[in-house]
Amino acid sequence: MKRIPLTWYFILLSAPFAQAELSAAKGLGGDFTQPHLRVAGAQTNDRAQFNGLIHADLSVVADEAWILPISSSRLSPGPVTPRSLNMPGLHPFFLVGDDPQSLTWLSQRAAELQEIGAVGLAIEVADTEALARIRAAAPGVTILPVNGNDIASRLQIEHYPVLITATLLGQ
C-alpha cells in the first residue's frame, strides 16, 4: 500500500477554505436559499433581512408544542430598572411572557421591535394558545419559546418584559 505524504493531507483539509469568498453567493440574494426553504415549508420575510442575511421564522418550520410549557423560575413580571450595556454586535432581543403586562408591553412596542429587528423570547408560556396570543400582540416579529433562566443569571435581571440591545437593557 502506498503512503500519502503529510502535505497531501494538509492540502485536502485546507481545500474547502481555498474557495472563493461567500460574497459571490450573497449577490444572489434570497433566490439562493428560496428553493431549500420552500421545501422545508418555511416562509421568508424581506423585512427580516439584516446585513444581507436572511432570517427564517423558525416557528413556521418546527412544531413547538413539544417544548411547551416553558417556565423560567428566575424571572417574573415586574418593573425593570434601565441600565447601560456594552455588548458590541449583540442583536436586539426581548423577553416576554403570557401575562397581561407582557402582552400590553408587546403590543405597544411592536412597531419599534420590528423596526430594530428584535427577536422575542417567550420565557413564560403555558401552551400553544398562550404562544399564539403572544405572537398576535406583535405580528411580524419573530417570537420563540425559550427558557430564560440562563439569560436572567448572565444579565442579572429578575423581571420582564425587557428589551436588550447592545447598549441598553430596559422596558
> Among residues of the chain, what percentage have pLDDT more than 70?
64
pLDDT for 3 equals: 57
Query: Residue 49 belongs to what domain range?
Result: 6-55
The answer to whether residues 36 and 85 belong to one domain is: no
Strands (E), 92-151: 93-97, 119-124, 143-145
Q: What are the pLDDT digits (tens) for 102-136?
A: 999 999 999 999 999 999 999 999 999 999 999 99
Question: Is 1 contained in some domain?
Answer: no
Count of domains observed in the chain: 2
Helix 100-116 to helix 128-137 angle, to the nearest 10 degrees?
A: 50
The answer to whether residues 70 and 51 belong to one domain is: no
The answer to whether residues 116 and 80 belong to one domain is: yes
* CA distance to 64, 109, 118, per residue, from 139 (Å): 18, 11, 13
Spatial distance between the Cα atoms of 153 and 116, rounded to a whole number of angstroms: 25
The residue length of the chain stands at: 171
